[in-house]
Amino acid sequence: MNKKKLFQGLVVGLLANTIGLVTTALVLGKLSGRSDGILTVLETAHSENFLGKLISLGAILNLLSFFYFIRKRQDARAGGVLLATILIALGTFLIRS
């Protein structure tokens, strides 16, 4: 496997998760009725112990990028996205415990 393409997939996976997390935080901020900002939502999530759930919801975009790379036959990049998802899952597990 090409390490450069694997690293590119890892970066794409981490960015997709970050974008998903920010989008989820924005949606929750708007749905709260108080139009909370991203940082307020993340702080509240941390204090109420559901930050791991928000991070997990953000990882849904990894699924899209993974299947995009598979469809384009870029297996090394898809492997990088999978690696990013595994790292995010481990991080989420550590946050919850």
Over its length of 97 residues, how does the chain's per-residue pLDDT go in tens digits? 689 999 999 999 999 999 999 998 888 888 877 777 788 888 888 888 888 888 888 889 999 999 999 999 999 999 999 999 999 999 888 877 6
Residue 81 lies in a domain: yes
Residue 44 lies in a domain: no
Residue 37 lies in a domain: no
Residue 34 lies in a domain: no
Rounded to two decimals, the pTM is: 0.85
Residue 28 lies in a domain: no
Domain that includes residue 8, residue range? 3-22+49-96
Using CA atoms, how far apart are residues 42 and 58, in angstroms rounded to an integer?
12
Domain count, the chain: 1
Using CA atoms, how far apart are residues 79 and 6, in angstroms rounded to an integer?
6
Residue 63 lies in a domain: yes
Residue 30 lies in a domain: no
Angle at 37 between CA 85 and CA 9, to 5 degrees: 20
Residue 71 lies in a domain: yes
Using CA atoms, how far apart are residues 13 and 81, in angstroms rounded to an integer?
4
